[in-house]
Amino acid sequence: MKWENNRESSNIEDRRNSSTYGSKNRGGNMMALLPIAKMLLGTKIGRIVLVVGVVAYFFGFNPLALLDFSSSSSSQKKVVNQKADDKSAKFVSAVLAQTEDIWSEIFKKYGSSYVEPKLVLFRGSTKSACGFASSQTGPFYCPSDKKVYLDLSFFDELARRHNAPGDFAQAYVIAHEVGHHVQNLIGTLDKVHKAKQNFKSEKKSNALQVKVELQADCYAGLWAHYSKEIFSSLEEGDIEEALNAASAIGDDTLQKQAQGYVVPDAFTHGSSSQRMSWFKKGFDNGTLEDCNSF
């Protein structure tokens, strides 16, 4: 993908140097205490120790330090190649800028104005209006604060764990999350949220969420369509990279890898073939109307 000489977005919120790790993560430490707390509750002495520990915690002392948990947690912080990390941050900024320009033009065609989202870059963990975010969470969009959250380590995971390398695969992930922002702006996410509240069946709720995700895939394809048309950004093999990424993170593929079998009723993002199909639909047709997955 050609991006080096393109405009970079001013909507990047860089928290890479302020992300929480190890013993700094008070919420994570409390989670680590839960199994210990259950054990202590079983005896009278244990309950006394637990009360003392809780009081100490809220006065600023970390009980895990006595068990040397904090030192082992802090060792989990990975050494980062700062030069490569900064290049990835610039890439994310350039892709985000493209989405801003493209979606501004699309919204203008429909007589509306596009409100640009913020994109939060972090390493390890951070806070969002939707709750605690960690590297295990994966990239996500929070409609409450209208921000996309991205731990840059996900790009390494995409290439190594999911066998989906390439800068355009990474760009697809960003464009997908921005697609959720578009859904938020036009009211789709709010309608889906209200509809889910009336569902008693998790199966129905999951099926509706799949439609949300497939539309975001289509919006990512729509971005790719105009990235090629307006910015001439696409290089040979780029679309194949995006399709490979869409396939690699399909629910059926992930379920097979994790448990050896597939449970379609548990799908929340769509199968590999569905995700590839909807991305391709957006790329080939280039219209909002063709991205109606509902």
Tell me, what's the pLDDT at 59? 44
Tell me, what's the pLDDT at 194? 93
By CB atoms closer than 10 A (0-12, 13-18, 19+), residue 76 is exposed
Tell me, what's the pLDDT at 135? 79
- Give residue limits of the domains in the chain: 22-74, 80-291
Residue 23, pLDDT above cutoff 80: no
Tell me, what's the pLDDT at 38? 53
pLDDT average, residue stretch 232-251: 95
Tell me, what's the pLDDT at 51? 58
In terms of pLDDT, which residue wins out, 170 or 27? Answer: 170
pLDDT tens string 120-177: 999 888 999 999 888 788 899 999 999 999 999 999 999 998 999 999 999 999 999 9
Residue 236, pLDDT above cutoff 90: yes
pLDDT average, residue stretch 47-69: 47
Tell me, what's the pLDDT at 62? 45
For 24, residues 6+ apart whose C-beta sits below 8 A from its C-beta are: none
pLDDT tens string 29-57: 444 444 545 555 666 565 565 555 554 44
* Range with lowest mean pLDDT among 7-11, 70-74, 142-146: 70-74
- Rounded Cα–Cα distance for residues 190 and 196 (Å): 10
Residue 14, pLDDT above cutoff 50: yes
Residue 22, pLDDT above cutoff 50: no
In terms of pLDDT, which residue wins out, 197 or 96? Answer: 96
Residue 75, pLDDT above cutoff 60: no
* Range with lowest mean pLDDT among 9-18, 46-55, 115-124: 46-55
Share of the chain above pLDDT 90, in %: 68
